[in-house]
């Protein structure tokens, strides 16, 4: 797609590749001494675990009919009607993009109204400016309490050919439940599953007669995946104009995952407290052109190729952002002895550890530095003519501590060619860092423990971008967490082929939101104003 993709994938995704085999030796070289003993051997777990999490044929077993029977509750611990409601949402092809048809989005809004009658009766609904943004207001009894904002988006990434999906008998918009209790189909992870559990929680609380003291907003985006002609999510600007200061904003982003380091057998609930900046940059080479029968080394394509080769070696500085330091420190007690020393002294050893991790593939490494990925190429108008212009579109994720300006300056120096020009198409600097020593973060960790007692809540920096960044420009207490477990294999399917989610996670996620609302919306002094 030509527009920006906000890969809010929703989670911290430590992808393990063959470079994991070198993690131990890199840390050993960087740290030395007792902190490095045995790291090389335990790094092999990165490879082993990545192989175990690779999708297999089991992910596409014979599908069940979309109409779920009572057996699903018995087998998978989730209410059938809830699964059916998610399926109904997923069948509506709300493909993101300014040129995509409006009807699916209108149909989705109508479905929410019919599927959640108590929400429709008790919450007010408005469409702020953009035709695809929806804002629900659950009025609290105490106007002195600052409101809670729960976010989600209902647009999805274009699946390409919707028929080339899963087991071959279903399209991307024909969701199904397989024999292992796994839901398949576009949007189950990103982000209709996260949206569903918010509405499920509110509907259940209303059925119990729950009345919030703190006003609760549900803010839904309809163009999160591709920022097109409608512009960014307008709801944060609307809040600013109305003088509404949220007590906390919670969007998708983190999830419950397995620990990203070798030798640590611990599930984490990673809560995004910041996100890297995003930059769409066009790099263009120009030349005189000519006839293809007399090629020149000064052809725009050759010049562009040299520039791409120059940036293929990432020279951005590797630094460990503060949230990642905190994550690794919290992991230290669960690490094997040879890693525990390094993680327990991360403030002293952050530079060599960041350098070692930053040279590995995957998202743990990417969190340590700015990354550059060429995503589109363009050039030439005829097969027998040398192009006068060739360009590459770069997707850049800007590390904390850098800016759009400093990033472009760095790339200019790295390419070092006057025949190459750079054009900023769009972008945002990295988000601020939300605090973790406040009642808001405490409320999140308490709700997490209610659904995943054994998971360790930790902060992290989200590598993808989300609508949360628009709120973070105004207010500090913005967090990113989708309360569902996602395996490494499942996270890899976001925006790709075979997107899938464990059905049982819908119940856990609903419980999380109910616990959070009971604690926060009651407005007790323990969670502040």
DSSP letters spanning 1-51: --SPB-----S------GGGGGHHHHHHHHH-GGGGTTHHHHHHHHHHHHH
pLDDT at residue 488, as a whole number: 84
DSSP state of 431: P
pLDDT at residue 167, as a whole number: 66
**Confidence band, pLDDT 50/70/90 cuts, at residue 502:** very high
pLDDT at residue 13 is higher than 70: no
Per the model's pLDDT, the better-predicted residue between 19 and 421 turns out to be: 421
End-to-end Cα distance, the chain: 42
Q: What percent of the chain has pLDDT over 70?
A: 82
The average pLDDT across 471-498 equals: 93
Query: CA-CA distance, 140 to 136, in Å (whole number)?
Result: 13
Distance of CA 38 to the CA centre of its chain: 33
Q: Closest Cα to residue 271, out of 457, 400, 115, 414?
A: 457
pLDDT at residue 99, as a whole number: 84
Q: What percent of the chain has pLDDT over 90?
A: 69
pLDDT at residue 527, as a whole number: 60
Compute and round to an integer the Cα radius of gyration of the chain. Answer: 24
pLDDT at residue 524 is higher than 80: no
The average pLDDT across 9-20 equals: 36
Residue 369, both tokens: 């530095």
pTM: 0.84
pLDDT at residue 65 is higher than 50: no
The average pLDDT across 415-437 equals: 96
The average pLDDT across 506-525 equals: 88
**Confidence band, pLDDT 50/70/90 cuts, at residue 4:** very low
Highest mean pLDDT among 59-68, 298-307, 485-494: 298-307
Question: What's the count of helices (H) and strands (E) in the chain, helices before strands?
Answer: 18, 17
The average pLDDT across 304-323 equals: 95
Mean pLDDT of the chain: 85
Answer positive or negative: Cα dihedral of 365, 366, 370, 372.
positive
The average pLDDT across 226-237 equals: 72
pLDDT at residue 203 is higher than 60: yes
Highest mean pLDDT among 157-166, 219-228, 415-424: 415-424
Query: pLDDT of 152-170, one tens digit each?
Result: 999 999 988 766 676 678 8
Q: What are phi and psi of 30, to 5 degrees?
A: -75, -35
pLDDT at residue 37 is higher than 50: no
pLDDT at residue 211, as a whole number: 93
Lowest mean pLDDT among 153-157, 226-230, 315-319: 226-230
pLDDT at residue 29 is higher than 60: no
Query: CA-CA distance, 481 to 462, in Å (whole number)?
Result: 10
Cα dihedral value 439, 440, 444, 449, nearest 10: 0
The average pLDDT across 421-439 equals: 96
Residue 117, both tokens: 């009658």
Query: pLDDT of 257-307, one tens digit each?
Result: 998 888 899 999 999 999 999 999 999 999 999 999 999 888 999 999 999
Per the model's pLDDT, the better-predicted residue between 183 and 362 turns out to be: 183
């Amino acid at each position: 797609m030509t527009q920006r993709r906000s890969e809010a994938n929703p989670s911290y995704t430590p992808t393990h590749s063959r470079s994991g085999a070198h993690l131990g030796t890199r840390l050993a070289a960087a740290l030395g001494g007792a902190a490095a003993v045995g790291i090389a051997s335990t790094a092999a777990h990165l490879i082993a675990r990545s192989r175990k999490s690779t999708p297999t044929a089991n992910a596409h077993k014979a599908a069940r009919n979309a109409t779920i029977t009572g057996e699903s509750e018995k087998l998978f611990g989730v209410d059938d009607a809830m699964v059916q409601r998610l399926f109904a949402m997923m069948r509506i092809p709300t493909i993101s993009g300014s040129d995509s048809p409006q009807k699916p989005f209108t149909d989705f809004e109508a479905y929410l109204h019919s599927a959640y009658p108590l929400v429709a009766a008790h919450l007010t609904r408005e469409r702020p400016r953009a035709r695809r943004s929806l804002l629900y207001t659950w009025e609290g009894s105490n106007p002195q309490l600052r409101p809670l904002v729960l976010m989600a988006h209902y647009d999805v990434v274009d699946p390409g050919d919707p028929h080339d999906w899963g087991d071959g008998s279903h399209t991307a918009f024909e969701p199904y439940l397989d024999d292992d209790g796994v839901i398949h189909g576009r949007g189950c992870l990103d982000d209709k599953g996260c949206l569903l559990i918010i509405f499920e929680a509110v509907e259940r609380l209303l059925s119990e007669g729950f009345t919030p003291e703190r006003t609760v907003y549900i803010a839904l985006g309809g163009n999160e995946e591709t920022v097109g002609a409608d512009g960014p999510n307008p709801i944060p600007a609307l809040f600013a104009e109305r003088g509404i200061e949220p007590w906390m904003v919670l969007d998708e982003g983190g999830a419950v995952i397995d620990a990203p380091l070798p030798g640590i057998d611990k599930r984490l609930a990673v809560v995004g407290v910041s996100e890297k900046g995003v930059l769409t940059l066009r790099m263009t080479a120009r030349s005189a052109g000519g006839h293809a029968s007399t090629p020149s080394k000064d052809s725009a394509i050759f010049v562009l190729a040299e520039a791409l080769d120059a940036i293929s070696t990432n020279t951005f500085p590797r630094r460990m952002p503060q949230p990642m330091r905190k994550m690794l420190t919290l992991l230290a007690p669960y690490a094997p002895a040879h890693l525990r020393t390094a993680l327990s002294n991360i403030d002293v050893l952050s530079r060599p550890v960041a350098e070692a991790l930053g040279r590995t593939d995957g998202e743990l490494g990417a969190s340590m530095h700015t990354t550059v990925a060429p995503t589109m190429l363009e050039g030439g108008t005829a097969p027998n003519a040398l192009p006068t212009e060739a360009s590459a579109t770069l997707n850049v994720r800007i590390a904390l501590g850098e800016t759009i300006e400093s990033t472009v300056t760095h790339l200019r120096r790295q390419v070092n060619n006057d025949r190459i020009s750079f054009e900023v198409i769009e972008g945002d600097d990295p988000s601020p860092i939300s605090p973790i020593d406040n009642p808001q973060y405490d409320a999140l960790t308490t709700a997490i423990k209610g659904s995943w007692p054994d998971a360790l809540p930790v902060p992290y920096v989200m590598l993808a971008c989300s609508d949360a960044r628009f709120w973070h420009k105004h207010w500090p207490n913005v967090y990113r967490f989708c309360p569902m477990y996602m395996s490494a294999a499942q996270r890899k399917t976001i925006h790709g082929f075979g997107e899938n989610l464990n059905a049982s996670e819908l119940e856990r996620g609903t419980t999380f939101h109910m616990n959070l609302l009971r604690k926060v919306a009651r407005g007790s002094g323990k969670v502040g104003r």
